[in-house]
Structure 1
Amino acid sequence: MSHTTDFDEWLTAAHAESGDFTMLFVLLRITDHTAEPLRAAWVHVMGDETRWPEMVRLFAGAGVQWSAAVFFRAGREGLVDDQLARSRLSALTRKLHEDRSLIRQGEFFNVDGLRLSLEERLPH
């Protein structure tokens, strides 16, 4: 029997709130100084059965060593078509490369599906 993760709880609550939706996600490498975007994609969330182990299997296809993932809804309208998801993902990744603080606007989890928070480091 697997345990429930913060991701599982978030996804279940998000689906209960809005129904099926398209989710953009970005895999990140976290270091002492930055959160580096590595790969990004989207998935259509149909129902609330998706759990963290399934997402980890999906992430394995990216072929990168990642240490966190951040999730965003593709839009308020719930499900969006692939062309719109691709366009919004492209805009999101461009903005994330310029401003890592955008991670705070998403749902941010570590490799175990536990919620993370991004704290700003002040220059010395």
Structure 2
Amino acid sequence: MTDFDDWLRATFAETDGFTVLIVLVSIGEGRVDLLRSAHLHVIGDDIRWPDMAAYLDGSGTAWDAVVLFRAGREGLVADDVARDRLDQLVRALNGDRTLIRDGEFFNRDGLRLRLDDAEPQIPMFN
């Protein structure tokens, strides 16, 4: 079991179905870059992390992490609503990566990640 599996089961139990907005990201050298996005209707809690990771790998891009956002408190939303909300989300994330904190952030192993503010590093001299 992974953190993703726990989150999915708990969220499905709360909603009995929901639409999730998915944003794949790359992480490196102090940067978080947005790669691809999609939405998915979750109508059961039987998908596990290996299946989800395989689905994400189907994007054809190398990714380091994924951020998941519920499309709305109402649970399942129509495709056109999900597309509009995903577009708004990606535009917002392009302007402010700290919004990732509002989502569920997982690494390639399905474990939770946390986005911290970068702190200046004190140079080390020998």
TM over 0.5: yes
How far apart are residue 123 of structure 1 and its match?
4.5
The normalised TM-score by structure 1 is 0.94
Matched, 1:46 2:50: no
Moved over 4 A (4+): none
2:44 counterpart SS class: coil
| Structure-to-structure mapping, 1:79-98, within 5 angstroms | 79-98=76-95
2:7 to 10, 23, 26: 10
Count of residues in Structure 1 that have an aligned counterpart in Structure 2: 121
Please identify the structure whose Cα radius of gyration is greater: 2
Matched with 1:75 is 72
Q: Over aligned residues, Cα RMSD in angstroms?
A: 1.0
Q: 5+ residue gaps in structure 2?
A: 122-126
Q: Which runs of 5 or more structure 1 residues have no equivalent in the other structure?
A: none
SS at match of 2:41: strand
Of 7, 25, 28, 2:22 maps to: 25
Query: In structure 1, how many angstroms separate the alpha carbons of the residues matched to 2:45 and 2:83?
Result: 23
1: distance between equivalents of 2:120 and 2:38? 32
CA displacement 1:28-61 (0-9 Å, x = unmatched): 0001311101000011000111111111111122
Identity %: 54
CA distance in 2, matches of 1:122, 1:102: 18
User: Residues of 2 paired with 1:24 and 1:81: CA distance?
Assistant: 12
AA aligned to 2:64 is S
